[in-house]
């Protein structure tokens, strides 16, 4: 992980690394648990494992799954070729560490979105304990078991893992059940060449309770939305994924990495408006070369890469007859292709000052064949060029300044690129982002701070009806995103550590015909997570935590209804159980207790985003979880 952090510190842009030790001594069931202390990342739990994730305002309009951030596992894409993604395929217990590349800093990964990229790095047989067993239990009927086994022998290494769990959920129609299996096998062909194979299997069932109005929450926050239980609303799928990576490092200053992937996902998605039966095949490859030819401390580094991905899908739609397919409504066939070429050069003007210049070219083909309504079919190609220019200055060994300007380019994914009678296909979202930041690395203090300003053309605006159903996506003319990202970890003493992440968000329209200079709905202006870890005894760490969402979060772009945020207190206990010499067992035993929402606060976790609700109470709110407690024990051999 230290090597990954050092590599990210070479970027003239916002980056960070989150280690498993930051989240594994707690519940660790959602991406909100994993990324709560990642600077610049906003996560909000809708229900169960369904998380809303945004970086710099990316995808804030999307009411389901993910857009605007490219997800990777071990540097290989998890997103579909149209840019959409989800979180059910990620197992938090199979993560070694997470790399976050915010905004234009993700160019090296071939990502051109406003939000950037997140890479989930899994352990290998050379970094994992030979055997790890973990058992969790907790509120709302949660139980989970995880087993990992791995090791290395000569030139071979490998790890296999399996996680199974369920939770009844605190709301009606909010149960989850998932089984996840993963494997990572490596072979060192020689000192310069390594081959690695990744396998994943996911069987996930996620019930959907839906949003509520404030009046419904006041009456009974546990209830599901209207007809969600009766029609068994859920998002269930089986995913099978295989990926391979070949890494060749003929010299210490050069590396060539080639990867390929294929996955198929069969999805059954009953909603209150019908049933979607979706079959997806997604495949692609990436070739990336890194050449560092510096002869002094001044940087001379070139990154060049190409990638291609293809999404082939069929969608059969039915009426919903009590959770079962009813009348057949027709089929839609999808074919999405994305081709990317990128290059970036870092040139040291001195030992301390480095200039970085790069660009990415993107071609995105989107073909949709709506066999039931041919007039809603389309076949379009989008082109985009995303240049970047940055400066990196080392003040000394501990402090670093950077600044950059970059462009982003993002065509709409199929789920939002819909042709409707009064709604044309949305244009790609493009932005210019200016950024300045600071990094500090010392023995006791790690600190990251950045400020950014984005001028966006054609920002995607999602349209929904009174029940929260998608009506398609349109474009705003011009919008502005600006914010401050901060994260720090301070070792106060050998037994006390402070950690915090803070976000300030200010997103608004820019002289819009309908909304003027109003705030863009959906994102709280202030977001703070802070915790203190105190280890008074070798077997006990006490961790109080505060989670604050402050300021006015507008529900609609007309700024007629707002939510005032919340403050939650959490309390964690964890530790390593002492060895018992008489037992003569070579096991490390760790335990945790995680108490959430200690004061049992009623609050709104997140909301849908609407255009104008005229000051009315609408079905737009997801109530947050009440007080809960989770515990677990982990054995490492």
| CA angle, 601 then 26 then 579, to 5° | 135
- Give me the domains of the chain, ranges plus CATH numbers: 2-129+144-198+224-636 (2.40.170.20)
The per-residue pLDDT for 472 is 72
Q: Which residues contact 635 (CB under 8 A, 6 or more apart)?
A: 131, 132, 133, 134, 587, 588, 589
For the record, the structure tokens of 26 come out as 């707690």
CA 144 to chain centre: 22
Phi then psi for residue 377, to 5 deg, are -85, 160
Q: Which residues contact 424 (CB under 8 A, 6 or more apart)?
A: none
- Dihedral sign computed on CA atoms, order 226, 468, 416, 171: negative
The per-residue pLDDT for 251 is 84
CA–CA gap between residue 23 and residue 390 (Å, rounded): 32
For the record, the structure tokens of 239 come out as 């995913």
H or E segment and range at residue 218: helix 214-219
What burial class does residue 190 get, using C-beta atoms within 10 Å of its C-beta: 0-12 exposed, 13-18 middle, 19+ buried?
Answer: exposed
The per-residue pLDDT for 584 is 62
The per-residue pLDDT for 582 is 59
- Tell which residue, 388, 402, 492, 497, has the closest CA to residue 440: 402
Cβ–Cβ < 8 Å for 559, 519: yes
CA–CA gap between residue 520 and residue 606 (Å, rounded): 15
CA–CA gap between residue 422 and residue 135 (Å, rounded): 53
- Tell which residue, 472, 465, 53, has the closest CA to residue 226: 465
The per-residue pLDDT for 9 is 86
The per-residue pLDDT for 99 is 95
H or E segment and range at residue 32: helix 31-35
Cross-strand partners of 320: 325
Residues (pLDDT < 50) of the chain are none
Exposure of 533 in the CB half-sphere (CA atoms within 13 A): 20
Residue 343, helix vs strand vs coil: strand
CA–CA gap between residue 622 and residue 50 (Å, rounded): 11
CA–CA gap between residue 152 and residue 169 (Å, rounded): 40
Q: Which residues contact 224 (CB under 8 A, 6 or more apart)?
A: 171, 172, 173, 174, 209, 210, 233
- Dihedral sign computed on CA atoms, order 433, 436, 441, 444: negative
The per-residue pLDDT for 615 is 93
Q: Which residues contact 197 (CB under 8 A, 6 or more apart)?
A: 183, 184, 185, 186, 242, 243, 244
H or E segment and range at residue 19: strand 15-19
b/e 281-297 (16+ beta carbons within 10 angstroms → b): ebbbbbebbbebeeeee
pTM, to two decimals: 0.94
Residue 67, helix vs strand vs coil: coil
The per-residue pLDDT for 3 is 82
């Amino acid at each position: 992980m230290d090597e990954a952090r050092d590599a990210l510190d070479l970027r003239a842009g916002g980056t960070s690394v989150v280690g498993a030790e930051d989240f594994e001594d707690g519940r660790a069931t959602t991406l909100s648990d994993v990324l709560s202390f990642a600077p610049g990342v906003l996560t909000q739990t809708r229900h169960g494992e369904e998380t809303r994730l945004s970086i710099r305002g990316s995808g804030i309009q999307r009411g389901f799954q993910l857009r605007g951030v490219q997800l990777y596992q071990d540097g290989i894409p998890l997103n579909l070729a149209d840019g959409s993604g989800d979180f059910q395929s990620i197992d938090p217990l199979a993560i070694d560490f997470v790399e976050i590349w915010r905004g234009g800093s993700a160019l090296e990964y071939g990502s051109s979105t406003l939000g950037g990229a997140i890479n989930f790095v899994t352990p290998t047989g050379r970094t994992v304990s030979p055997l790890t067993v973990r058992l969790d239990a907790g509120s709302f009927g949660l139980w989970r078991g995880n087993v990992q086994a791995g090791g290395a022998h000569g030139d071979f290494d490998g790890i296999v893992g399996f996680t199974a769990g369920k939770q009844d959920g605190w709301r009606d129609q909010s149960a989850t059940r998932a089984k996840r299996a993963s494997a990572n096998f490596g072979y060192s062909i020689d000192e310069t060449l390594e081959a690695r194979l990744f396998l994943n299997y996911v069987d996930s069932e996620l019930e959907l309770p839906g949003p509520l109005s404030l009046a419904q929450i006041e009456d009974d926050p546990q209830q599901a939305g209207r007809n969600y239980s009766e029609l068994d609303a859920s998002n269930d799928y089986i995913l099978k994924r295989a990926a391979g990576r070949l890494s060749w490092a003929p010299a210490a200053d050069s590396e060539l990495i080639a990867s390929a992937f294929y996955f198929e996902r069969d999805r059954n998605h009953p909603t209150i408006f019908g049933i979607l039966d979706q079959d997806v095949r997604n495949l692609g490859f990436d070739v990336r070369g890194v050449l560092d030819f510096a002869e002094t401390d001044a940087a001379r580094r070139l990154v060049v890469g190409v990638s291609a991905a293809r999404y082939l899908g069929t969608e059969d739609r039915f009426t919903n007859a009590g959770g079962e397919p009813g009348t057949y409504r027709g089929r839609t066939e999808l074919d999405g292709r994305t081709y990317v070429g990128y290059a970036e050069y870092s040139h040291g003007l001195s030992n301390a000052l480095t200039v970085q210049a790069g660009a990415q070219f993107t071609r995105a083909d989107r073909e949709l064949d709506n066999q039931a309504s041919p007039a809603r079919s389309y076949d379009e190609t989008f082109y985009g060029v995303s240049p970047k220019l940055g400066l990196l200055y080392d003040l000394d060994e501990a402090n670093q300044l950077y600044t950059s300007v970059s462009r982003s380019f993002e065509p709409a994914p199929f789920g939002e690129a819909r042709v409707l009678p009064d709604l044309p296909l949305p244009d790609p979202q493009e932005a210019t982002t200016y950024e300045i930041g600071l990094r500090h690395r010392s023995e006791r203090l790690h600190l990251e701070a950045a400020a950014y300003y984005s001028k966006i053309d054609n920002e995607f605006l999602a349209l929904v009806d009174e029940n929260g159903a998608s009506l398609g996506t349109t474009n705003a003319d011009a919008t502005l995103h600006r914010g401050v990202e901060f994260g720090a970890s301070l070792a106060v003493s050998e037994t006390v550590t402070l950690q915090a992440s803070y976000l300030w968000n200010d997103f608004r329209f820019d002289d819009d015909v309908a909304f003027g200079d109003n705030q863009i709905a959906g994102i709280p202006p202030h977001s703070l997570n802070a915790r203190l870890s105190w280890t008074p005894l070798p077997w006990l760490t006490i961790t109080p935590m505060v989670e604050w969402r402050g300021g006015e979060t507008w529900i609609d772009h007309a700024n007629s209804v707002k939510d005032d945020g919340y403050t939650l207190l959490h309390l964690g206990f964890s530790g390593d159980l002492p060895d018992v010499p008489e037992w003569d067992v070579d096991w490390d035993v760790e335990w945790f207790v995680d108490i959430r929402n200690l004061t049992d606060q009623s609050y709104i976790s997140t909301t849908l985003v609407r255009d104008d609700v005229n000051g009315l109470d609408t079905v737009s709110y997801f109530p947050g979880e009440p007080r809960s407690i989770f515990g677990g024990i982990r054995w490492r051999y």
